[in-house]
């Protein structure tokens, strides 16, 4: 009888890890994209590295599916931090022009707005940015975010409210700037 036998991880079997990967690859990708803003190739690399590290340490994992996504997100966050430190960029850049179909004006406008919104999110401080990404890109509930970040639900809710207000304010300022610029150019033509 072995007294100090290591408990078996629920992810020890390749099939169990494959299921974990299939259920969580897109949420991990979205999380990383929300934190970094791209480019897509880098986000794909970080997502792959997240699952590679998880695979290597799967035998040490204990917990259920709810714990597993938090574990994957922590691995992803550490990889993003490591990459950020390695490249020592002061500012994350998003592509200036999102892919657009020039014949469809509405699609182009929507892509421009999405690109601008992602730039606004990328410019947020680290903690509010992560909370917004977890809430709106991954669809986590406030209590899940609080548990993951080691914060109170009230703190997370207040951060979400304040951050959304700030984003709304920046959005309105940008729209007013575009309207004023368009008005000024029309005035100059008259």
Last residue of a domain, one of 78, 93, 108: 93
pLDDT at site 22? 94
pLDDT at site 86? 78
CB 132, CB 34: distance < 8 Å: yes
CA 44 and chain centroid, separation: 13
Q: 63 and 132: one domain?
A: no
Q: 15 and 78: one domain?
A: yes
Give the up-direction half-sphere exposure of residue 22: CA atoms within 13 A in the CB hemisphere: 6
Q: 133 and 86: one domain?
A: no
Residue at 167 is within a domain: yes
Query: What does R_g of the chain's alpha carbons equal in angstroms?
Result: 21
CB 47, CB 77: distance < 8 Å: no
Give the up-direction half-sphere exposure of residue 97: CA atoms within 13 A in the CB hemisphere: 5
Residue at 175 is within a domain: yes
The residues near 54 (Cβ < 8 Å, ≥ 6 apart) are: 11, 17, 20, 61, 71, 72, 75
Residue at 88 is within a domain: yes
Residue at 109 is within a domain: no
Residue at 156 is within a domain: yes
**Domain count for the chain:** 2
CB 99, CB 111: distance < 8 Å: yes
CATH number for 188: 1.10.10.10
User: Domain of 27?
Assistant: 7-93
Residue at 69 is within a domain: yes
Residue at 108 is within a domain: no
Last residue of a domain, one of 47, 78, 93: 93
CATH number for 67: 1.10.1740.10
d(C-alpha 59, C-alpha 33), whole Å: 28
CA 133 and chain centroid, separation: 4
pLDDT at site 118? 83
Q: 89 and 32: one domain?
A: yes
Question: Whole-model pTM above 0.75?
Answer: no
Which pLDDT tens digits describe the chain residue by residue (190 residues)?
A: 455 555 677 888 889 899 999 999 999 999 999 888 878 899 999 999 999 999 999 888 888 877 888 899 999 999 988 887 777 544 444 455 555 444 466 667 777 877 888 888 888 999 999 999 888 888 888 998 999 899 999 999 999 999 999 999 988 888 777 545 444 444 444 4
Ramachandran area for residue 89 (φ above 0: left; ψ -120 to 50: alpha; else beta): beta
d(C-alpha 74, C-alpha 61), whole Å: 13
Q: 87 and 138: one domain?
A: no
pLDDT at site 176? 77
Residue at 99 is within a domain: no
For the chain, percent helix, then strand, then coil, each to nearest 5? 75, 0, 25
């Amino acid at each position: 009888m072995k007294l100090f036998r290591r408990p078996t991880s629920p992810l020890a079997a390749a099939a169990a890890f494959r299921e974990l990967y299939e259920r969580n690859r897109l949420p991990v990708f979205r999380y990383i994209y929300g934190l970094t803003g791209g480019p897509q190739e880098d986000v794909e690399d970080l997502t792959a590295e997240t699952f590679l590290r998880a695979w290597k340490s799967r035998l040490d994992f204990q917990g259920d599916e709810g714990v597993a996504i938090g574990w994957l997100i922590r691995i992803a966050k550490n990889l993003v931090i490591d990459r950020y430190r390695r490249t020592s960029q002061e500012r994350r850049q998003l592509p200036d022009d999102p892919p657009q179909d020039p014949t469809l004006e509405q699609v182009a406008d929507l892509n421009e707005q999405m690109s601008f919104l992602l730039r606004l999110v990328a410019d947020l401080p680290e903690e509010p940015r992560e909370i917004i990404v977890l809430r709106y890109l991954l669809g986590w509930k406030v209590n899940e975010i609080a548990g993951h970040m080691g914060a109170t639900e009230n703190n997370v809710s207040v951060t979400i409210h304040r951050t959304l207000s700030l984003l709304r304010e920046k959005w309105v300022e940008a729209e007013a700037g575009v309207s004023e610029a368009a008005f000024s150019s029309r005035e100059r033509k008259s």
